[in-house]
Amino acid sequence: MIVSYMGADACALYLFDDDIQILTLKASKGLCVDATGNIPSELGEGLAGIAFNEMQAVREGDTVKNSGFCSSLAIPILRGKNRIGAILLQSVKIDYFSDEDINTFRAITAQLVSTIEMAKLLFSFDHPKVNPVVEPQAIELKFIQGRVGAEGFAFGDSVVFAPLLLGDFKVLDGENDLTVDDFHRAIILTEQELYAMQKVIEKKLLDVVALIFSAQIMMLKDQSMIGAMEAMMANGIPPQDAVRAVVLQYVARFDQMTNEYVREKRYDVIDVGRRILTNMFGRMDSHHQYAAKVVIVHELLPSDVLKLSLQNVAGIVLLSGGITSHVAILARSLNIPLVIVDEPRLLTLQDGSSILLDGAMGNISIEPSEDVIRAFQEKQAVHADDNRIQEGLLAETCMNDGTRVVLLANINILADLAVAKAFKAEGVGLYRTEFPFLLRGDFPSEEEQCIIYRRLVEDMKGREITFRTLDIGGDKMLSYYDNGKEANPFLGLRSIRFSLKHLDIFVCQIRAILRASFDTDVRIMFPMISSVEEFVVARNLVMESAGALKAEGKPHQGRPSIGAMIEIPSILEVIDELAQQADFFSIGTNDLIQYMLAVDRTNEKVADCYFPHHPAVLRSMKRVAEAAHRHQRDISVCGDMAHDPRYISFLIGIGIHKFSLDARYLPQIQQRIMAIDARRAEAFAAELLGKASVDETARLLNETLL
């Protein structure tokens, strides 16, 4: 396929064998010959070896006379900075491969990485002893108070997202025993389902899904895995037990892996095992395995959230241990109610127990009584009223004295755009560009990013659009990139620091943003700016990238507005100097509070010390607003304080008239703003700023809202 897509004549794939430290030829199409006239098979030989060693594309245009090929192009296969192999393309034409081809070939290669890694892994497995199957136990749990991950209600049957459930599949009394033919039929059905799901999800979530079902499809085609199941069946073991046993063997093997990313593949094996079993028993369509269910899960990967969303899961109960806020943010974007509770016994809850999940209060009820269900239905009715309020939203927001306030949306994934428009956002005040990076299997190429960003630009044309450059690190770790273990990731190689340490990744992103917005005004902002120099270095890279694109003759945006997120306390002391360099400020209150109060925003143990209303936070925000006004710079708030009605009066009172928030909060915030009078807000802010204790500010804020 690569040969035909690239219009080449030959292609060869080399993979690096970690054990023998050699790059070996694994597949080829056409006769692929290097400068020595041989098919290179060892590291260091030929162009593929050079590309692999130097971790960059290598091209020759007029070389190999005796091989019949004149042009060659080799690209390393990388996962982050890890080298996996190299691919070589050849053509009989002279100077055949262009710069554009290098980019395209790189994008194709990036897509192949997960598939290749999975294949390598499956090859390397043999089949150790069978693990025992643990049966679920019934437990007595009634009501559990947890924390809100993503708002919304769900009422449905429970299902535990865990390997234990493989034990559910039993031939019941009166049913015929399953046969090997049933097994083979189930394999075919499962494969068809997976392909169909891949297609649907690609359409729905173009920006964040790469080939998320490819690992599972490959497992179905893996002769050693399927063969092991068949061998057991040949020895008289019932098909369901053979599937279960081999799946558990693989899970055990994955569990031993040191690489976290590879270890996570255990969930894919479990998932594929469940699908085969479901299809074999024909009891229900595994496509809808989680449809309308409340899923209980110990740990969740972002790709699992996508899969669950695809299957129209009703809600998610996430147990402590695997809490990462981007999983919650994603659940919000996908409209899946999610509650985080610290109750591991839930994992042993009998499947099919009825669960009521209240994502507004952050609690769950198990086998709720009639009264609890009635109260829940009443709440849902109120929620339906909320939906009617949403229909009454105005395109522009003004305070009750007519002062204009701009309401923008925070976008995590492109699917949020539809909600943002439905809720009349005037633009995008924060596009968290790291989500495609977090959810795909590898760094998206410049081309891929350009396609994603262009979608956003086209969708929001004519409105304000702010791209926030990569905010990797902290709780947003890339599973495929080993950043090394950091004792304090929130104080580590995070955000703009990561970008400035990895200029290839950063420049690639900047180029993609500038290219995608060639015909539109856009704003670019850098997260976690801690000094003026840091901002200037990042800004200069944007301007240099624009210069490079101009020299290359590529359409691009040459003069974007460039701003800084205000979320690190050190920047407050040099805020005037920063204002002279930056076009705008956007206050990221989530991190500003975290760093100012030294309270980890994801740590449950210190959640009661996380005070947005701490006088130091309020006063520092006032300083930022004043500096912005002094230098006539645009200022907005894009952290969660912008969607909390308690703080809006204060923020307006210190002169901030632009907010960017999760679009689902827009109706509520618009209503609140429409009731505010500018002069009264100023007086209120002055009074609040006069309070020196957290208790006093809390009291005043509560009184005012009442």
Residue 591 is a binding residue for ligand PEP (CB under 6 A) = yes
Which one is catalytic: 508, 638, 643, 657?
Answer: 638
Which one is catalytic: 32, 70, 287, 326?
Answer: 326
Q: 667 Cβ partners below 8 Å, 6+ apart?
A: 386, 389, 390, 392, 393, 423
State the nearest-atom distance from the C-beta of 563 to ligand PEP, in Å: 13
State the nearest-atom distance from the C-beta of 591 to ligand PEP, in Å: 3
Q: Which of 307, 432, 511, 658 binds ligand PEP (CB under 6 A)?
A: 432
Is 508 a known active-site residue? no
Stretch that binds ligand PEP, among 110-118, 139-147, 342-350, 586-594 (CB under 6 A): 586-594
Residue 473 is a binding residue for ligand PEP (CB under 6 A) = no
**Host H or E run for residue 48:** helix 46-54
Q: Are strands 294-297 and 153-160 parallel, antiparallel or unpaired?
A: parallel
Q: Considering only residues 586 through 605, tell me which ones interact with Mg ion, judged by CB under 5 A.
A: 588, 591
Q: Considering only residues 619 through 648, tell me which ones interact with ligand PEP, judged by CB under 6 A.
A: 638-639
Is 11 a known active-site residue? no
Residue 590 is a binding residue for ligand PEP (CB under 6 A) = yes
State the nearest-atom distance from the C-beta of 586 to ligand PEP, in Å: 8
| SS3 of the chain: helix, strand, coil, percent, to 5 | 50, 15, 35
**DSSP type of residue 29:** E
Lay out the site mask for ligand PEP across 237-276 (x = CB under 6 A, - = otherwise).
----------------------------------------
- What, of Mg ion, ligand PEP, none, does residue 664 touch, CB below 5 to 8 Å by kind? none
CA atoms within 13 A on the CB side of 467: 30
Residue 471 is a binding residue for ligand PEP (CB under 6 A) = yes
Q: 147 Cβ partners below 8 Å, 6+ apart?
A: 339, 340, 341, 362, 604, 607
Stretch that binds Mg ion, among 267-275, 337-345, 432-440, 585-593 (CB under 5 A): 585-593
Q: Decide if 432 contacts 639 (C-beta within 8 A).
A: no
**In terms of CB distance, is 246 or 430 closer to ligand PEP?**
430
Q: 584 Cβ partners below 8 Å, 6+ apart?
A: 523, 525, 561, 563, 564, 628, 633, 634, 635, 636
- What, of ligand PEP, Mg ion, none, does residue 432 touch, CB below 5 to 8 Å by kind? ligand PEP
Residue 336 is a binding residue for ligand PEP (CB under 6 A) = no
Stretch that binds ligand PEP, among 304-312, 340-348, 510-518, 587-595 (CB under 6 A): 587-595
State the nearest-atom distance from the C-beta of 546 to ligand PEP, in Å: 25
The Cα–Cα gap between 555 and 409 comes to 27
**In terms of CB distance, is 427 or 588 closer to ligand PEP?**
588
Give the pair of three-digit tokens for residue 591: 């991190």
Q: Decide if 587 contacts 565 (C-beta within 8 A).
A: yes
State the nearest-atom distance from the C-beta of 593 to Mg ion, in Å: 10
Residue 49 is a binding residue for Mg ion (CB under 5 A) = no
Q: Which of 216, 249, 483, 589 binds ligand PEP (CB under 6 A)?
A: 589
Q: 381 Cβ partners below 8 Å, 6+ apart?
A: none
DSSP 190-230: HHHHHHHHHHHHHHH-TTT-SSTTHHHHHHHH-HHHHHHHH
Burial status of residue 618 (CB atoms within 10 A of its CB: 0-12, 13-18, 19 or more): buried
Q: Decide if 289 contacts 311 (C-beta within 8 A).
A: yes
| Binding interface with ligand PEP (CB under 6 A) | 430, 432, 471, 567, 588-591, 638-639
- Catalytic (active-site) positions: 326, 638
| Binding interface with Mg ion (CB under 5 A) | 567, 588, 591
